[in-house]
Amino acid sequence: MREAEDVRAILRDRGPRPSGPRRFPPGFIWGAGTSAYQVEGAIDEDGRGVSIWDTLCARPGAIANGDTGAVAADQYHRYREDAALMAELRLATYRFSIAWPRIQPDGRGPVNERGLDHYRRVVDALLERGIAPNVTLYHWDLPQALEDAGGWSSRETALRFADYAATVYRALHDRVGWWATLNEPWCSAFLGYATGEHAPGVRDPRRAVAAIHHLNLAHGLAIRAMRPIDAGPRLGIVLNPAPIRTKDGTPPATETLRDGIRIVDGIRNRVWLDPLLEGRYPADIAADVAALGGFPIADGDLATIAAPIDWLGVNYYHDDTLGDLPPGTSAAAGAAIHPGTAGIAWDPPDGPRTDQGWIITPDGLRALLVSIGRDHPGAPPLIVSENGAAYDDPIGPDGRIRDERRTAYLAAHLDSVHRAIEEGADVRGYIAWSLLDNFEWAWGYAMRFGIVHVDYATQRRTPRDSALWLRDVIAANALP
């Protein structure tokens, strides 16, 4: 297929690679991921409370096609079948998230044991198949009651999160070896409270700025609550840092663009990595957001946020490329959420795109993995915790789904991981996004990210060719 060839061309442009297999280090962890709201369905079962995504889905126009997570991939009922499928694909780990509203329907107070029991069963089903669970405690489905009390703009939510995290940890620490507190807090803060594309669908940059700090604090408080219960499991967080650059990688030619890239990089990357790994906010960004109320830091917060972690999850899809707007024009709306960026805008390079219109920039993953260790010498080992692409290829008459573009995308990014390791990055694993087609947030079911296809009418699962390819890569622990 033409576009798969385009993706492979990107790979070739990066220079020759060894002719033999590119082996990954012994013990390299291979897996696939999902998140609760995206795959579980069963939103009214076993005492689950309402989440902010249920609320946003009910808002007309918020989600493509009016889709909701009510049924999704029905994993709430099909986790055993899915665990068997993972074993067939030779996955060593499954990254999934726990729905806070199933554990505490209102986000605080009494624990709903039926919710915990569900995840006990999921974990047992995985362990029976020899698959190591990697649990994310928060993948965006905040209990609505907490949002009504201020959500992530309120410090109280961080305290409630630490209680919830400790509750789940107490129940599962003996069987789950890998934990992440938050998934992509940049999305929670920025898409949730600034652009409003994600739940709770708010457009108020002041609230987004406060949310940045409260999400960081929630992470640190949770680590501090969990560690004393059991110091054995590996505790971490999943971020989505990305290289922010011009489309051809040349230095920005104007002061406006240079400053804009600094600010976007600051909000996407540095306001998460710096407090987590260095115990401080970047001074330039703290000054930039002062006009939006600033970061509401209390005594001791920065030390809490910098509590040591055992691994850092890196989700990566593409670089963000920026350029100057023509003189006389301005992105006022963009500047409201990124103060100081009115003169610049997204400026994508030519080349193939995924179904979502996302650009394909595999070398960015290499650069990112190398730079985290270089810029933060104390950084823990890294795991690529999400990486993948939306492509909807048809099921052939023979039942096969020849998703060559997805395979090419995965191969190009795995090559980047391999290169990063050769360059000294401490990368311990790779978790493909996603195991299954699922509810892709504001895009609804229109975007298919699964290495396994889901027929939503029957819930039948069909591994795409990319899944079979990944299975062979895992078996060899090497790229062919």
Half-sphere exposure of 480 (CA within 13 A, CB side): 9
Task: Using alpha carbons, select from 262, 269, 376 the residue that is nearest to residue 315.
Answer: 269
Least distance CB 31 / ligand FCB (angstroms): 14
Instruction: Report the C-alpha gap between 335 and 478 in whole angstroms.
Output: 44
Q: Decide whether 306 or 389 has the Cβ nearer to ligand FCB.
A: 389
Q: Decide whether 318 or 366 has the Cβ nearer to ligand FCB.
A: 318
**Annotated catalytic residue: which of 40, 184, 404, 440?**
184
Q: With the C-alpha atoms ordered 350, 353, 357, 363, is the resulting torsion angle positive or negative?
A: negative
Least distance CB 186 / ligand FCB (angstroms): 9
Q: Decide whether 136 or 216 has the Cβ nearer to ligand FCB.
A: 136
Instruction: Report the C-alpha gap between 179 and 311 in whole angstroms.
Output: 9
Q: Phi/psi zone of residue 133: left (φ > 0), alpha (ψ -120 to 50 degrees), beta?
A: beta
Q: Decide whether 104 or 188 has the Cβ nearer to ligand FCB.
A: 188
Residues 6+ apart with CB under 8 A from 15: none
Q: Decide whether 154 or 183 has the Cβ nearer to ligand FCB.
A: 183
Q: Decide whether 49 or 313 has the Cβ nearer to ligand FCB.
A: 313
Least distance CB 387 / ligand FCB (angstroms): 9
Least distance CB 449 / ligand FCB (angstroms): 6
Q: Decide whether 154 or 315 has the Cβ nearer to ligand FCB.
A: 315
Least distance CB 216 / ligand FCB (angstroms): 17
The bridge status of strand 132-138 relative to strand 178-183 is parallel
Least distance CB 66 / ligand FCB (angstroms): 18
Q: Decide whether 216 or 240 has the Cβ nearer to ligand FCB.
A: 240
Least distance CB 356 / ligand FCB (angstroms): 8
* Residue 184 is a catalytic residue: yes
Binding site for ligand FCB (CB under 6 A): 35, 38, 183-184, 187, 240, 315, 386, 433, 440-441, 449
Residue tagged 């001074």 (tokens): 283
**Annotated catalytic residue: which of 113, 147, 156, 386?**
386
Least distance CB 61 / ligand FCB (angstroms): 20
Q: How many other CB atoms are found less than 10 A from the CB of residue 346?
A: 13
Cβ atoms of 392 and 355 closer than 8 Å? yes
* Residue 386 is a catalytic residue: yes
* Catalytic site positions: 184, 386
